[in-house]
Amino acid sequence: MRIVFNDQIFASQIYGGVSRYYVSLNKCISEIDGVESTIISPLYVNSYLKKINQPETTGIAIPEIRYTGRIRNKIVPLVNTLLSPYLIKSYKPNIVHETYYARKAYAPKKAKRIVTVFDMIHERYKKLYTPDNPMTKVKRLVINRADHVICISNNTRDDLIEFFNTPEDKISVLYLGHEISNCKSYSNSDAFPNMDRPYLLFIGRRGDYKNFRGLLAAYVKSERLRTNFNLICFGGGNFNKEERSLFDSYGLDKSNVIHISGDDNSLANIYRKADAYICPSLYEGFGITLLESMSFNCPVICSNTSSIPEVVGDAGEYFDPDDIESIIFAIENVVFSPARKNELIIKGIERKDYFSWEKCAKHTHKIYKSIL
């Protein structure tokens, strides 16, 4: 069996759960007897891809150069569009696994096409996007032409059936894994400024359905939380002008809400020292960060929506993300209770072992075999 993962996500995403999934899946599935797999991206910007061995990928890494983003975003897709069809065809794959949504797959006629659907956010939250959203149109096109569709949670599968009316027998549900480990430990106060005070952790993008504003409102309203903890935001870009104005209106300063960015090693150490990881999202397709948090003994406090309970099970403290008082109660119930905090840590250690990239690859391989 010969498998190709194409360029789409690697040409656009530097860091993120989607590209991490494909790099991890490619690595694990290539270790299965009788399987040859590769990532073909003539040009790519993805940091995970830059770190793997060359036999596992075909392409050239584009360095990050300040002020060249617009040029890069035009050149990379153009070059990949020209070269990908020839490189994929020369590999003679049985399976082409599309890594995101594009109008053309460049899969040979005899190859089967697979696509993974991570979420249906654009469809579930139409009001957050343009009325005639091109993402939905392209996504529908890719799903319709695929020989099989993988969804990363039962919640995503149910949403896919609801919005696209995709036949249920065309869909399989496969859970993701997690892998941040073996990271060097160091003192956060040495590595980052303003990290000597206890803190609550938020990860990733902060807009729209991620509900960072809901968490911020809860943090501000609770004097106990504001007095005893900082709020650390890891990744997701620097605070913008609107966010800084919001902090000012709440009377917060740089010592209260802190933005930090970094690599996996940095994130691992942030997890280790956090009093809790807060996931206030209105919607998640899966939630790798939930498992990562558990793997570093960081208790999870999270929304009770979408796929989150499916992933977390009984290893989290839940709240209603639309209810500020519910968010406050859940956080305070954990961070001010050593017993509850320890209980969640123990349950998290047990829960995280249910998910792995090896299991994900093994089940994905079965799906590939079933459609050949």
The CATH class of the 2-177+357-371 domain is: alpha beta
Residue-level pLDDT at 58: 83
- The length of the chain in residues reads 372
Of 110, 128, 132, residue with least CA distance to 119: 128
pTM exceeds cut of 0.75: yes
- For the chain, state the CA radius of gyration: 21
C-alpha distances in Å from residue 13, one per residue of 9, 45, 48, 49, 53:
6, 7, 10, 10, 19
User: Which has more pLDDT, 201 or 71?
Assistant: 201
Residue-level pLDDT at 181: 54
pLDDT of 261 over the 80 cut: yes
The Cα–Cα gap between 95 and 145 comes to: 14
CB atoms within 10 A of CB 223: 8
Q: Both tokens of residue 56? A: 């596992």
CATH of domain 188-352: 3.40.50.2000
**Class of residue 110 by CB neighbours under 10 A (exposed 0-12, middle 13-18, buried 19+):** exposed
pLDDT of 54 over the 70 cut: no
Average pLDDT on 241-255 reads: 91
Of 283, 281, 267, residue with least CA distance to 235: 267
pLDDT of 99 over the 80 cut: yes
Average pLDDT on 2-23 reads: 91
Mean pLDDT of the chain: 90
Average pLDDT on 254-271 reads: 89
Tens digit of each residue's pLDDT (9 = 90 or more) over 280-325 = 999 999 999 999 999 999 999 999 999 999 999 999 999 999 999 9
Average pLDDT on 29-33 reads: 93
Average pLDDT on 272-283 reads: 96
Q: Domain boundaries in the chain?
A: 2-177+357-371, 188-352
Residue-level pLDDT at 291: 95
Distant-in-sequence, close-in-space partners of 205: CB < 8 Å, separation ≥ 6? 235, 236, 237
Average pLDDT on 231-258 reads: 92
SS3 annotation, 180-221: CCCCCCCCHHHHCCCCCCCEEEEECCCCHHHCHHHHHHHHHH
- For 87-102, letters b (16+ CB in 10 Å) and e give bbeebebbbbbbbbbb
Residue-level pLDDT at 241: 93
Average pLDDT on 114-125 reads: 94
Residue-level pLDDT at 194: 56
> Quick check: do 2-177+357-371 and 188-352 share a fold?
yes
Average pLDDT on 246-256 reads: 90
Average pLDDT on 97-110 reads: 91
Q: What percent of the chain has pLDDT over 90?
A: 72
Residue-level pLDDT at 128: 74
* Strands (DSSP E) found in 223-289: 230-234, 257-260, 276-279
Own/partner pairs for 53-61, CB < 8 Å, 24+ apart? 56/26, 56/27, 56/30, 58/87, 58/91, 59/7, 59/10
DSSP state of 116: E
Residue-level pLDDT at 171: 98
* Strands (DSSP E) found in the chain: 2-5, 36-44, 57-61, 95-98, 112-117, 148-151, 171-173, 199-203, 230-234, 257-260, 276-279, 300-303, 316-319
Residue-level pLDDT at 334: 98
- Mean pLDDT is lowest, of 57-61, 85-89, 127-131, 152-156, for 127-131
Tens digit of each residue's pLDDT (9 = 90 or more) over 175-208 = 999 877 555 555 554 555 556 789 999 999 998 8
pLDDT of 233 over the 70 cut: yes
Phi, psi of 357 (to 5 degrees): -70, -30
User: Which has more pLDDT, 143 or 49?
Assistant: 143
pLDDT of 50 over the 90 cut: no
C-alpha distances in Å from residue 204, one per residue of 17, 132, 147, 279:
10, 27, 32, 10
Residue-level pLDDT at 160: 97
- Mean pLDDT is lowest, of 79-93, 183-197, 266-280, for 183-197
SS3 annotation, 36-63: EEEEEEEEECCHHHHCCCHHHEEEEECC
Average pLDDT on 61-81 reads: 79
